[in-house]
Amino acid sequence: MAMAQAMTAEVVPLPRKRPTLDPMLSLTANGMNSVNAVILDRMQSEIPLIPRLAGHLISGGGKRLRPMLTLAGAELVGYQGTRHHKLAAAVEFIHTATLLHDDVVDGSELRRGKAAANIIFGNPATVLVGDFLFSRAFELMTEDGSLRVLKILSHASAVIAEGEVSQLTAQRQIETSEERYLQIIGAKTAALFAAASQISAVVAECGDEQERALEDYGRNLGVAFQLVDDAIDYDSDAAEMGKDRGDDFREGKMTLPVILAYARGSEDERRFWKDAIMGHRSSDADLEHAIELIGRHNALDDTRERARHFAQRAIDAISIFPDSKARQAMAEAAQFAVARGY
């Protein structure tokens, strides 16, 4: 798709560097070593199955984007301490717990390109180890001792669960609107991005304006990420691995590419979508047809366009901070969120 765009342009300029996560990775590399040490240390238990199951997912090559947001935020505001390492680990534990429970909820077979934990260890252990990690997250926060951080992250956790239940009730509901969809991903994904980012300002004891700015950065970035994730599930050119393409389609999940293609479709096409989302058309040929319809109505490009909008809002939110390596890295991370999978 990047190729196609380049070819339609009148003048081909020197290729602009594609945005990457590299500046963010360098910015947070030292801190992430400490965070990873906390993660490894605190996922241990006398019950051997717990670190084995948790480790399957935790060492499974996730980007650890959320704890990275906490570290980047701390850099942005010039925080000098180390309290945020434990808190970033708590954020990753909450995220890991929700992934484990998601895999049970969705009956996933793949996660990050490997067999999902529920496939290897079964649903029961996967649910319980999720609970364990969730509890550990609150133990870590309590050790830190900031009631404000506890408030932010316990509230975010409740909102995430609400978002997941909301998504569940929207499943196989063709009439789900873009507004409803944005509410769902705002809760199930963006709330933790927002909280992860915000707590860096809390630890650094910045003012309200800074705290709000970091929260807004995280929330908008989270929405952009989720939109692109949802696009990738229908993108035959997508290079990003780790998920079975078409998972959302087969599960009858209402995501923006489908919402747009359905809204813009003919009567015939709408009938197809209704059947497909109800689960009556889930073959590979049906998936190909769905991808074709989504392409016909520019629904993938427009989903990415929506993501670009939120990424830009994320970048603008942190414009109140003076220019710095941290701010540049965070801005490029937002651009990367949109460009992923091309």
Q: Is 253 in the site for a copy of itself (CB under 8 A)?
A: no
Other C-beta atoms within 10 Å of 284: how many?
9
Is residue 69 within 8 Å of 21, Cβ to Cβ? no
Assign 323 to helix, strand or coil: coil
Q: Which of 162, 247, 301, 316 binds a copy of itself (CB under 8 A)?
A: 162
- Does residue 93 touch a copy of itself according to CB under 8 A? no
Contact flag: residue 234 with a copy of itself (CB under 8 A): no
State which of residues 28, 157, 226, 255 lies at the interface with a copy of itself (CB under 8 A): 157
Which of these segments, 17-25, 33-41, 152-160, 212-220, binds a copy of itself (CB under 8 A)? 152-160
Which ranges constitute the DSSP H helices of the chain? Answer: 2-8, 22-42, 49-58, 65-76, 83-106, 117-144, 147-170, 178-185, 191-203, 208-232, 247-251, 256-264, 267-278, 284-296, 299-317, 325-339
Q: What is the Cα gyration radius of the chain?
A: 20
> Per rule CB under 8 A, is residue 13 in the interface with a copy of itself?
no
Rounded to whole angstroms, the Cα distance separating 250 from 286 reads 10
Residue 98 found at the interface with a copy of itself (CB under 8 A): yes
DSSP 8-state code for residue 6: H
- 101 near a copy of itself (CB under 8 A): yes
Element (H, E) at 254: none
- Which of 13-21, 143-151, 199-207, 288-296 is the region at the interface with a copy of itself (rule: CB under 8 A)? 143-151
Q: Is 278 in the site for a copy of itself (CB under 8 A)?
A: no
Of 148-156, 199-207, 235-243, 325-333, the window that binds a copy of itself (rule: CB under 8 A) is 148-156
Contacts with a copy of itself by CB under 8 A lie at 45-47, 49-50, 97-98, 101, 104-106, 123-125, 127-132, 134-136, 138-139, 141-143, 145, 147, 150-151, 154-155, 157-158, 160-162, 164-166, 168-169
